[in-house]
Amino acid sequence: MKLGVLFSGGKDSTLALHKAVVKEEVACLITLISKNPESYMFHTPNISITKLQAKALNLPLVAKNTEGKQDGELMDLKKAIAQAKRKFEIEGVVSGAVESVYQAERIQKICYDLDLWCFNPLWKRDQLELLKEIVESGFNVIISGVFAYPLDEKWLGKEINRKVIGDLMSLAKDYGISPSGEGGEIETTVLDAPLFRKRLEVLSFSIESKGNSGVFSITRARLAEK
Amino acid sequence: MILVVDMNWRKDSLGYYEFVLPIVSIVEKVEKSFVRHFSEVNRKNIERSSQIVLSGTALKDHATLQCVEEFGWIRECEKPILGICAGMQTLGLVFGASLKKSLEIGMAEINTTKENPLFSSTYRAYELHNCAIEASAKFEVLAESEKCVQAIKLKTKEIYGVLFHPEVRNKEILQRFTSLKT
């Protein structure tokens, strides 16, 4: 079955891609580039890097801009998926939804309308297990956004490794945040993963932060040998 | 030992992660489990199990509804069975009920219509189906949503079906099922 993967360049959609390629043929990646940093549906930090990630993965990318307003962004997502269906003859869509019924429901409805299969291979996975799987599978993932107390600028750009997982778990215990950022507390960017033919090398970045909210923006990056 | 039957269109499909694994992770908190694809269920698996859960499937996956004859074992089975979504629809067909078009995606309000050991009162649950069951006389209806029948029980055995997905927002239903005995 030919599939299109909804791809934000973060850890969940990249892991969902890795699950999908084992079972089916992934024909393309689909990305919504949202102008709204508070989008309900789409991961925003470093979304422009998806083009480079797609190149590293050697997969075509269907990218569509969206204003990121609630109904409009769903229409734009539907148009992007319809475009992927026309261009790459996909029969289904894969998402990295883990816990969000809001997100899963909307993707399911779009797929139903477009007569496509819909798969969520990370659905209901334990968050700690997911983080461990990412590290143990050899992903290089950095924290590219923080949006909740007590997270702050210090976390931006950190690579997710065993120690960081431990620290996030402590915060989860003490402050009730989701350790994998399922509640939007953290956004991530994948710089390398087993399916990447080349890794992303960050040449320059900028950090914008205020209190418990901040973004690590990659301003220049290139593909490098692994 | 709980047998979780993978109802996806083929063994080791991409639907396994979404429709089978969440059930396994919930029931494993209470009792050990093992998974078999529906094409592999045999007398030995059934004898080994204490209860049986039939998983749901992707919205476009109607494989089990097209090969109901493979589920003849359910008629003779004396173990408690819980069919979820496609699992409920398959149970219905095995016992002579029919299906009708009925689409629900997302959260819906469920009203309990008959006292039972799995749930009570009114609650919200996650739906993902495009057909529902028209219960035959062999079943009692345990719950309904505004749109359709949401839960059934075979009158003569501990065989239950829920159209919604309890593994998403109603884990306690699966946990209560694990304590049912024949």
A110-146 pLDDT, tens digit per residue, is 999 999 999 999 999 998 899 999 999 999 999 998 8
Looking at residue A99, the DSSP 8-state letter turns out to be S
- Domain with residue A21: its CATH number is 3.40.50.620
Same domain, A107 and A24: yes
The structure tokens listed for B6 are 């993978």
Same domain, A38 and A86: yes
Last residue of one domain, picked from the residues A65, A100, A119: A119
Q: How confident is the model at residue B139 (pLDDT cuts 50, 70, 90)?
A: very high
Note whether B21 contacts A: Cβ–Cβ < 8 A.
yes
B contact test, residue of A17, A112, A124 with most B CBs within 10 A: A124
The structural domain count of chain B equals 1
B123 belongs to a structural domain: yes
Q: How far lies A84's CA from each of B75, B117, B122, in Å?
A: 45, 47, 41
Identify which of B20, B57, B14 has the alpha carbon closest to the alpha carbon of residue A16. B14
- Write out residues 28-87 of B within 8 Å (CB-CB) of A: 58-61
- Domain with residue A181: its CATH number is 3.90.1490.10
Note whether A101 contacts B: Cβ–Cβ < 8 A.
yes
The structure tokens listed for B136 are 């035959």
- Cβ-based contacts of B58 with chain A (< 8 Å): 117-119
- Beta strand B122-134 with B98-112 is antiparallel
Nearest CA in chain B to A98: B18
Same domain, A202 and A170: yes
Parent domain of B138? 2-177
Q: At what angle do helices A11-23 and A127-136 cross, to 10 degrees?
A: 70
| Yes or no, beta carbons of B105 and A108 under 8 Å apart | yes
Same domain, A115 and A198: no
Are the C-beta atoms of A157 and A219 separated by less than 8 Å?
no
The position carrying tokens 């499909």 is B13
Decide if pLDDT at A210 tops 90: no
Same domain, A109 and A150: no
Within a 13 Å sphere around the CA of B42, how many CA atoms are in the beta-carbon half?
2
Which of B77, B85, B131, B148 is catalytic? The answer is: B85
* Cα angle B15-A162-A213, degrees, rounded to a multiple of 5: 85
Whether B67 is a known active-site residue: answer no
Same domain, A92 and A164: no
A7-62 pLDDT, tens digit per residue, is 999 999 999 999 999 999 999 999 998 777 665 555 567 877 999 999 999 999 99
- Cβ-based contacts of B130 with chain A (< 8 Å): 112
| Yes or no, beta carbons of A124 and B169 under 8 Å apart | no
Q: How far apart are CA A89 and CA A61, in angstroms?
A: 14
- Domain with residue B97: its CATH number is 3.40.50.880
Range of A74-78, A182-186, B4-8 with top mean pLDDT: B4-8
The structural domain count of chain A equals 2
Parent domain of A181? 127-224
Decide if pLDDT at B171 tops 60: yes
Structure ipTM: 0.94
Which of B104, B127, B158, B167 is catalytic? The answer is: B167
Last residue of one domain, picked from the residues A86, A119, A152: A119
Same domain, A39 and A88: yes
Last residue of one domain, picked from the residues A67, A85, A119: A119
Q: How far lies A171's CA from each of A135, A141, A188, in Å?
A: 19, 19, 17
| Yes or no, beta carbons of A101 and B130 under 8 Å apart | no
Whether B144 is a known active-site residue: answer no
Please classify residue B25 by burial: count the beta carbons closer than 10 Å to its beta carbon, then call 0-12 exposed, 13-18 middle and 19+ buried: middle
pLDDT of residue A104: 93
Same domain, A147 and A199: yes
A contact test, residue of B8, B12, B14, B165 with most A CBs within 10 A: B14
pLDDT of residue A150: 83
Mean pLDDT score of chain A, rounded to an integer? Answer: 91
pLDDT of residue A38: 62
Same domain, A115 and A136: no
The structure tokens listed for A19 are 């699950």
Q: How many residues does chain B have?
A: 182
Neighbour count for residue A210 (Cβ, 10 Å) = 8
What order do you get walking across the sheet with A2-6 strand by strand? Answer: A61-66, A25-34, A2-6, A92-94, A117-119
Same domain, A84 and A28: yes
Are the C-beta atoms of A62 and A83 separated by less than 8 Å?
yes
| Yes or no, beta carbons of B18 and A111 under 8 Å apart | no
Note whether A56 contacts B: Cβ–Cβ < 8 A.
no
The position carrying tokens 């350790």 is A179
Average pLDDT over residues A168-187: 81
Same domain, A92 and A6: yes
B182 belongs to a structural domain: no
Same domain, A131 and A34: no
Decide if pLDDT at A4 tops 60: yes
